[in-house]
């Protein structure tokens, strides 16, 4: 009778590893800093100039006016995609006939290049928040839905027997068995959807937008404020890393049972 200890690996448990993984970024930044120090190129300003542009623009003048709307649209679209994608995924996963009926249409929609849909969304819904959120939701719903379908279909037949033999209701089977069993696939679909929604957040702000990180960055480029443009890249990179980190934390929480070994 052994009860195994559950030791999760934490980032602070391995200080040596942390130090190793810091070497390259720190070296890159230092190299960038010193190599660009005397830069006279208008396209490659010094890191110093970029950082001061960053501070000027993003700390925190444009947070309320641009960062918040950007992230709000992205998270709204992403949230809709997750809810709708998981819901439809369960439905299609449990009713193969329904899936068969809708699959050609779904495949067609999924194949449409996201960027090509930007003008369509503008024609249909104008230039406000709605078309951007709708486009992000429309495109990112597919990875979530398709992964949910796969996950729900792959529920172990023994567990199906268990839930039938203990007479769980349809709804109980969804929430206690099918959803958690499909969680690993759902989460990996959500991960793809998150990075796609981040891309789309910027793309939707490059056309017919009046605010947002992408809009500000494009404006900077068009008005030859190159340091501001680079500062936009810096911000997007940082946000991307933060999103990824937050997602990893969520994933660990959701899938503790799955990744225990």
Task: Catalog residues that contact another protein under the rule CB under 8 A.
Answer: 1-4, 6, 156, 158-159, 161-162, 164-169, 172, 176-177, 180-181, 183, 257-258, 260-261
- The residue (of 108 and 257) whose beta carbon lies closer to another protein is 257
Question: Nearest distance from residue 153's CB to another protein, in Å?
Answer: 16
- The residue (of 60 and 166) whose beta carbon lies closer to another protein is 166
Question: Nearest distance from residue 188's CB to another protein, in Å?
Answer: 16
Residues 59, 216: Cα–Cα separation, whole Å: 14
Residues 218, 2: Cα–Cα separation, whole Å: 60
Residues 127, 90: Cα–Cα separation, whole Å: 33
- The residue (of 183 and 220) whose beta carbon lies closer to another protein is 183
Compute φ and ψ for 37, nearest 5 degrees.
-55, -45
Question: Nearest distance from residue 190's CB to another protein, in Å?
Answer: 17
Q: What is the DSSP letter of 9?
A: -
- The residue (of 56 and 161) whose beta carbon lies closer to another protein is 161
Helix axis angle, 68-94 to 179-204, nearest 10°: 140
- The residue (of 110 and 176) whose beta carbon lies closer to another protein is 176
Alpha helices (runs of H) in the chain, residue ranges in sequence order = 15-35, 47-58, 68-94, 96-111, 117-125, 129-153, 157-165, 170-172, 179-204, 213-222, 226-254
- The residue (of 110 and 153) whose beta carbon lies closer to another protein is 153
Question: Nearest distance from residue 4's CB to another protein, in Å?
Answer: 6
Question: Nearest distance from residue 171's CB to another protein, in Å?
Answer: 11
Question: Nearest distance from residue 143's CB to another protein, in Å?
Answer: 22
The burial class, CB within 10 Å (0-12 / 13-18 / 19+), for 23 is exposed
Tokens of 109: 């929609």
Q: How far is CA 102 from CA 21, 137, 248, in A?
A: 47, 19, 33
């Amino acid at each position: 009778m052994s009860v195994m200890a559950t030791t999760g690996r934490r980032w602070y448990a391995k200080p040596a590893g942390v130090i190793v993984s810091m070497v390259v970024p720190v070296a890159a930044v230092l190299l960038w800093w010193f190599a660009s120090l005397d830069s006279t190129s208008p396209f490659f300003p010094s890191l110093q100039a970029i950082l001061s542009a960053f501070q000027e623009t993003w700390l925190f003048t444009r947070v309320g006016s641009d960062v918040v709307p950007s992230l709000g649209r992205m998270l709204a679209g992403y949230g809709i995609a997750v809810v709708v994608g998981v819901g439809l995924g369960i439905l299609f996963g449990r009713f193969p006939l329904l899936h068969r009926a809708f699959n050609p249409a779904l495949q067609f929609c999924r194949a449409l290049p996201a960027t090509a849909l930007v003008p369509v969304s503008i024609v249909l819904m104008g230039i406000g928040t709605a078309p951007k959120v709708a486009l992000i939701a429309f495109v990112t719903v597919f990875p979530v839905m398709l992964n949910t379908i796969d996950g729900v279909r792959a529920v172990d037949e023994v567990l199906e027997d268990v839930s039938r033999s203990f007479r769980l209701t349809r709804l109980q089977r969804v929430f206690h068995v099918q959803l958690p069993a499909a969680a690993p696939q759902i989460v990996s679909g959500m991960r793809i959807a998150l990075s796609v929604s981040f891309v789309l957040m910027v793309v939707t702000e490059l056309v017919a937008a009046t605010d947002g990180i992408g809009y500000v960055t494009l404006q900077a480029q068009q008005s030859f404020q190159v340091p501001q443009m680079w500062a936009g890249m810096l911000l997007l990179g940082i946000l991307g890393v933060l999103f990824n980190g937050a997602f990893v934390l969520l994933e660990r929480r959701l899938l503790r049972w799955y990744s225990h070994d």
